[in-house]
Amino acid sequence: MAAEATSWQKEQVSRAYVHALATQGGYTICDWNVDKDGVDVTLRSRGLMVDIQLKCTQNPRTIRSGYSFDLDIETYDKLRDPERSAPGHLALLIVPRDIGRWVIHQPDSIVLACHGYWSSLYGMEHAPGSSTTAIHLPEHQELTVKAMGTMFDAARRMTNSAGPGLN
């Protein structure tokens, strides 16, 4: 039976996954060393920003048409807050049960044997629970470079609806 990875191992492979995608997409990335605002990484592209909370699991809870993850209410409220300057997202990375299979070494490459999904929480309704709320991550919302572009499209719409700025 495969051992459960520690929290820091899951966090680090999640960061590696997002770093690889952001690099391919030409986005810069900021890693926050304190998770005060419910954000692990912020992506930037030409002045736009996208905030992402990273979660990782070896035992995903599958539901019809995707996955479900119980997110604590405090983080949920921070990511859904309509007063944010960047849209908040939850990304769930799913890794093999055996940590030895997370990274596959090949003669000409290294493969991260994992896959991710995302959900936008910006502007979501108040959660009915008091400790956690189940976030649906649809299987069609894979965390890819293209998905990051979609996140920036949302950031652009959010910025444009905020008006021209101070004056």
> Domain segments of the chain: what residues?
7-159
| pTM of the predicted model as reported, rounded to 2 decimal places | 0.92
Q: Which of 150, 140, 159 is CA-nearest to residue 21?
A: 150
Mean pLDDT of 7-34: 95
**Residue 21 φ/ψ region, left for φ over 0, alpha for ψ in the -120 to 50 degree band, beta for the rest:** alpha
Residue labelled with tokens 């069609």: 140
Instruction: Evaluate if residue 133 carries a pLDDT over 70.
Output: yes
pLDDT in the model for residue 28: 97
pLDDT in the model for residue 2: 67
Instruction: Evaluate if residue 164 carries a pLDDT over 60.
Output: no
CATH architecture, range 7-159: 3-Layer(aba) Sandwich (3.40)
Mean pLDDT of 132-148: 97
Strands (E), 73-153: 88-94, 103-106, 109-112, 115-120, 132-138
Q: What is d(CA 41, CA 35) in angstroms, rounded to the nearest whole number?
A: 9
pLDDT digits (tens, 9 = 90+) for 73-119: 999 999 999 999 999 999 999 999 999 999 999 999 999 999 999 99
